[in-house]
Chain A
Amino acid sequence: MKRPAIRWILYGLPVPVLVLSLLVGPSDVMSPGQAVLWMARRLAGFSGQADAKEALVSAILWNVRLPRVLLTFLVGGALAASGNSIQALFRNPLVCPYLLGLSSGGAFGAALALTTSWIPLQPSAFLFGLLAVTSSYLLARVRGRIATVSLILSGVIVSGIFTSLLTILQFLTDPFKLQTIVHWTMGNLHNATWEKVRSAAPLILASTACLFLMRWRMNVLALGDEEMRAVGLNPEREKLLLILPATLAASASVAVAGVIGLAGLMVPHMVRMMIGPDNTHTLPACFAFGGSFLLLVDNLSRTTASFELPVGVFTTLAGGPFFIFLLKRAGIGWET
């Protein structure tokens, strides 16, 4: 298939996937047919008196499934778009949004909130994620310039520090809270609420919009700092303009959904293997495909077992084989 065709399929994918995801769930009260009927009525503007059964269907769809589906899509899209930008920025296909300490900072923030209950969980995870990335960034800054290698190194160090702090908390806290912390770090989409959607959506949408505006600049940045200066752009400023929204989008996701591994690393690769490396196309495609991918994975984790496995485990188990298939078939394109 030609690349433009695949591109449009990727852009359109969220629509059927979002609808399909609303039909999937463990409830025996409601069949997919009832869900379709409910959606059709809603869309037609029907607001008549509902019987008890219908009220239940409405409650499940409106209060349970819809927020979860929306949140999952936003989180998947944000992680993938953020991963795409971070990989372009570092000119390195092996990095992900968690590289600069975002996940360990976020996990520490969440654990701190869970153990001490001084601060609410989501803001704490969000702020400590940001704090970790900011420290990595400032540590790497020498005389106004940011070298890629020092940024990666300081990211590793900051991650290490927050992981150690997290370990101290886990060591000191009681077993019950420890279990909650461990579950949080595995990624949790099952307790999605409208409140979470409302708190995460504006940040995620605004920062992915910023990344969308920067999509061609990523191509320029991908060639190298010196090459970028030569064509009249300041790489330090451009890097900041990418790190900032990429971090905001990813920390907003971590704050509401915990640490979902591999989505930010793998999805950009999959997209590049399908439509090529031009960031002007991969960035919107990453958002659309990342959201759809996480939704499909989440649907699997909701339906295959009688209990829900953490979605982070499933992203790896379901995405891994697909990733390997693409890798073997298409070749990754940088065999050097």
Chain B
Amino acid sequence: MGNMNDALRVERLSFRYGKRLVLDDIHLVMREGTFTVLLGKNGSGKSTLLRVMAGLAQCGSGKIELLGKDLRSLSASSRARILGFLPQQHRPVFPFSVEDVVLTGRACHVTLIPGKKDREKAFEAMDRVGIMHLAGRSFTELSGGEQQMVMIARVLAQEPRIILLDEPTAHLDFVNQARLLDLIRELVDSGLTVAAVLHDPNLAFLYGDEFVFLKNGRLQSVSSSQKPWDGSLLNAVYDMDVHTVPYGKRALVIPGGDKKSVDHS
């Protein structure tokens, strides 16, 4: 049995695609009200781990607990009331209005047709993400950044306690990446538990509480107090020389061991 404050626990999890071992004996604990960032190279198993934790891919062996309940014992809709998941790509073909897209997040609370309360929840979620002005616009006309905010609002409308985001900053520009991570930070500080796959270690170190490094399906978990940017951990994870520069209590990360890359003008 896990600690009361554990939002999500993963024990001895392994996962295979066919014969290939993608996740190898994973142990992971996410405490309530923390922001965990998953880092690693492409193909290291980050997205797979996220999907398995979200209950979208059958876990091979091992155990996953959400708020102390075995994931396998939960029905799809009771799982969705605890945990929200944002997949990588979303391109609806039909030009639904933003309001209608956000409303679909209510599916786990709705029998057949959403009611007045569900519409209110959808508007609350849009308000929280700051996209009320987009409510009547059609989703397909929005910019990538706006679409991502809509999808976050959809996850919030679901009212989960835990949110898993697969590369939420992909396709977003500099400003929108910062806006999105500020929003995630706000959500976490208000008590939600969030885990996200991020490609940029700088953003990860600026915003995250806990860091999970994946390499070849194996996992190493480090919290911010342990300063993952120090030492040779990043070099090993990315198979590349990484230079770190102190920044406040944290650090910035620059690819390349020496400062050669800035002297070439």
Contacts and interface: CB of A to CB of B under 8 A. Distances in A.
Interface of A: 88, 91-93, 213-217, 219-220, 222-224, 226-234, 272, 276-278, 280, 333-334, 336
16 contacts: A215-B113, A219-B96, A223-B92, A223-B96, A223-B104, A224-B91, A224-B92, A226-B87, A230-B85, A231-B80, A231-B105, A232-B107, A233-B108, A333-B138, A334-B140, A336-B91
Given A219-B100, A220-B104, A231-B108, A333 B95 contact: yes
A93 B94 contact: yes
Contact of B95 (A219, A227, A334): A334
A246 B103 CA distance: 25
A32 B81 CA distance: 61
Contacts of A222: 92-94, 96
Contact of A333 (B55, B101, B140): B140
Q: Which of B76, B84, B138 neighbours the largest number of chain A CB atoms within 10 Å of its CB?
A: B76
Nearest to A233: B107
Contact of A216 (B54, B92, B108, B110): B110
B220 to A, nearest CB: 27
A233 B76 contact: yes
Contacts of A227: 87, 90, 104
Q: Chain A interface secondary structure, helix, strand, loop or mixed?
A: loop
Contacts of A231: 80, 84, 104-108, 154, 158
Contacts of B234: none
Contacts of B191: none
Interface in B130-174: 138, 140, 154-155, 158
| Nearest 4 A/B pairs, CB to CB | A232-B80, A232-B108, A333-B95, A232-B77
Contact of B112 (A217, A230, A234): A217
A223 to B, nearest CB: 5
Nearest to A272: B94
Nearest to B108: A232
B9 interface: no
Nearest to A92: B93
Nearest to B118: A216
A94 to B, nearest CB: 10
Given A91-B93, A231-B80, 8 more contacts: A92-B93, A216-B112, A216-B114, A222-B92, A227-B87, A228-B107, A232-B76, A334-B140
Contacts of B79: 232
A207 to B, nearest CB: 16
Given A216-B112, A277-B95, A334-B140, A234 B76 contact: yes
Contacts of A229: 55-56, 76
A321 to B, nearest CB: 24
Q: Chain A CB within 10 Å — which of B87, B106, B107 has the most? A: B107
Given A227-B87, A230-B87, A234-B76, A276 B97 contact: yes
Interface in B20-65: 54-56
Given A216-B110, A233-B77, A234-B76, A226 B96 contact: no
A333 B90 contact: no
Interface in B104-133: 104-108, 110, 112-114
